[in-house]
Amino acid sequence: MAEKPTPGGETHQSTNRRKDSLTTNQGIVVSDNQNSLKAGARGPTLLEDFVLREKITHFDHERIPERVVHARGYGARGFFEPIQSHADLTSAEFLQDPTVQTPVFVRFSTVAGSAGSADTVRDVRGFAIKFYTSAGNYDLVGNNIPVFFIQDAIKFPDLVHAVKPAPDRAFPQAQSAHDSFWDFASLTPESTHMLFWAMSDRGIPRSFRMMDGFGVHTFRMINAKGKVSLVKFHLRPKLGALSLVWEEAVCLAGADPDFHRRDLWNSLARGDFPEWELSVQAFTEEEAEQFDFDVLDPTKIVPEEVIPLRPLGRLVLNENVDNFFAETEQIAFCPANLVPGIDLSDDPLLQGRLFSYLDTQLTRLGGPNFHQLPVNRARCPVANFQRDGHMQMNTPVGAVAHEPNSLDAGAPRENPRSGFRTSPQPVQGEKVRVRSETFADHYSQARMFYRSLLPMEQQHLIAAFAFELGKCHEPALRKRMLGRLALVEQEVAEQVAQKLGMPDGIEQLEPAIAARDLAPSPAVSQYANAPLGLAGKLIGLLVTDGIDAELYESLLEKAAAEEARVSVVALTIGDVMTSREEILTPEHFLSGAPSALFDVIVVAPSAENASLLLEYPPAAQWVRDAFAHLKVIGIVESAKELLELAGAPAEGAGIVPIRDATDWDALLNVAGNSHRVWERELARS
């Protein structure tokens, strides 16, 4: 089956209207539901596109007051601090002085689920930043994945409708493992690259603090001399971009649906402030023309091996909110909130977002004055002639509310010298609904992404595709999606088909453009260059009465030196006594705290009470799960029988015997050298 040509360039002579024709809400038959109206194939989207505006307006207003997408979010305050002046790149004020900190508010979110869904579902994560700059509010509204499912904003309502719960039954919730999503995905070749990212470990991050951020689109930066650079935004966490394993994510969704938000809140509350490096890839229009892809296509990345990252500064979160609703729920982001020195590109997905975000806020937050809410209010002077409206919270004074005027000499006036200026760029072309031919390669970068992953990352991706497609009841769409995978990498399609029990079920598809063999990009792998150490991680310590006090205190000291924490787990939530008869209050009780909550576990019962763990089935399961989830395990001599009961080896493969306090260095060294004990998994496969 050959891919259909991108709709939009065909002329339909027949005037016969079929009764099943797609129409607007006014009954006007839609000729092209795939492409917005643009000035030329690569030009900006036109405001007159009533099909796009009606479709997105209706979509924006589907939920009141919950966000249609990104409903489950969590935010915090902080600051941004440039490392040096970037005047050669941009005139944006907040990127000039390394001694000036710009206040920020950051909101992390899942995309598909409702506000009541779980944190650890497989999903894209939003990463949105509001910079309260001296020149006005600037919003960088991105994700934890650098590409997206679609190339044109007119398809966004279809994408989200496909992934949301079915309208007739209101499930499944907060997941893409169902027929409607994979029906859309298998019929939308442009989504292929994003699907590979979403099915990778990126879809189940370990925490917000250990998650990358990306601006997704290509933007422009302009310096004071008018020089224009194209840029892609990146945020890299100081702790490294780390993920859960699938079984662990499933466990956490039940044991602690608030796992990510609890982690961020607790981190800030104890003064452990997460930090990211904000960088850009900067390049010229001439360089962009030499790329073998179109930088206006949001389903493509610029490999870091082609254009390296240029660090701009550090983003630090250091304050929890005072009120979740007033701040995290009411914050309103919009990619059209720009400051002088930063401008937009003609990316057709970005162009639609400029309209959609503002339109959404009008419904969610009650009207045109939502910018007056404290969390949305600019930290610099605001002066204009906008008046009245629902929820007006200011009291404008004066008799004049128009401009130009000669009646009030003190009224604000436009400022050609320091005001925002759109960077000049030529626009020429017919008004058309087409997809640029430069957007047509849907498989080459997906192949590059897969081949750039480490072996265990590849296996996780294959398992994720198999799980998701295995939840689809319609065989035809499974076959079609397997055919789409084969266009990227035959071995992926074959291994997924084998897991599904469909070895002969790969549909033969003909791509518009066949995948090319691009140079690998090791930068896309989370673990190829993962930072060493235990900073930001949590060690679960399982104890009983009589826990060796010296052993416990030395672990606390060693962990603190590594910027890690120790959390005590006991059989019950009641106090336990150490070997010095000192009271130790556990943070968790065993059956209520699965080992999935921790990055490393240590089993350290006293010799006289170790039998209590042997007699309590959840204890063996606690260790068994940690071993299956590839965690480093420290074990004292008295717990060796428990290890055997859990089916784990006594030593090796990330099992570290703890005989006395001197062995903590060995444990922390093993745990700090790798986020997981990957050899266990590779041995199983």
Annotated catalytic sites, by residue?
70, 143
Which of 425, 431, 400, 450 lies closest to 40, judged by CA? 431
Amino acid at 428: Q
Helix axes 455-470, 490-500, angle to 10 degrees: 50
What's the maximum distance between 2 C-alpha atoms anywhere in the chain? 91
Q: How many CA atoms lie within 13 A of 398 on its CB side?
A: 16
CB within 8 Å of 656: residues ≥ 6 apart: 632, 633, 634, 635, 663, 666, 667, 670
Contact criterion met (CB below 8 Å) for 149 and 159: yes
Q: Please confirm whether the linkage preceding 657 is cis (ω < 30° from 0).
A: no
DSSP character for 79? E
Q: Which residues contact 266 (CB under 8 A, 6 or more apart)?
A: none
The two structure tokens encoding residue 683 = 């041995």
Which of 308, 306, 310, 349 is closest to 448 using CA atoms?
306
Q: How far apart are CA 3 and CA 187, in angstroms?
A: 9
| Helical ranges in 90-221 per DSSP H | 156-163, 179-186, 192-199
| 314 vs 307: CA distance, rounded Å | 20
Placement of tokens 């719960």 in the chain: 165
Nearest one of 444, 443, 451 to 524, comparing CA atoms: 451
How crowded is residue 616: how many other Cβ atoms within 10 Å of its Cβ? 15
**DSSP letter at 603?**
E
Cα 444 to Cα 124, 401, 451: the distances in Å are: 21, 55, 11
Instruction: Say if CB 181 and CB 188 are below 8 A apart.
Output: no
Question: What's the length of the chain?
Answer: 685
List the structure tokens of 537: 């991680």
